[in-house]
Amino acid sequence: MFAVGVGNLVWGPLSDRFGRRITYGLSSVTFLGTTLGCDFSPNISVLVAMPALQGFAECAYLTNGQAVVADIFAPAQRGQALGVFMLSLLVGPVIGPLVGGALSQTFGWRSTFIFLAVCCGVMVPLLVMVPETQQYLVLACIWRAFKRVGAAAGTAAATSA
């Protein structure tokens, strides 16, 4: 829980500074690495440390998710959208132990981490298709492209004259 609390203090400002998309990608790669660290842990010390780091990486989804909802939805719709988004906090703790318990009972305790790694491994490439939702970063990209087009047009006009 401590790592999740500290993670919120880290991922939130990173998301505001560098964008939601980059932060999602970085946290997903960190989560995947710590999940594999749990699976291949050689001793109990590593097995205790890795889930703490996993919690640190995981809390970026909650922090960024709320920021994305705030970026996309108008204030009048934001409450309902956040309510739907927060359902995962209620559904996850119910489904997680059921799936994890079934996997552990059938294939052993490491299978839960393999399952998490596969789910995260599928999600990381999908993040390439996620657009940036933070408006000022989107506008900054458009402005840089506009300046490049303007500079290229000015150079072309100067060479043709």
How high does pLDDT run on average in the chain? 83
> For the chain, which residues make up each domain, given as ranges?
2-130, 134-161
Rg for the chain, CA atoms, rounded: 21
Q: What is the mean pLDDT of residues 95-120?
A: 91
The percentage of residues in the chain with a pLDDT greater than 70, rounded to a whole number, is: 84
Rounded to 5 degrees, φ, ψ at 19 are: 110, 155
pLDDT at 150 over 80: no
Supply the pTM of this predicted model.
Answer: 0.75
- Token look-up 């699976």 returns 39
124 or 6, greater pLDDT: 6
Using pLDDT thresholds of 50, 70 and 90, give the confidence band for residue 135: low
- Condensed to tens digits (0 to 9), the pLDDT of residues 52-87 reads 899 899 888 888 888 888 888 888 998 999 999 888
Q: Does domain 2-130 have CATH number 1.20.1250.20?
A: yes
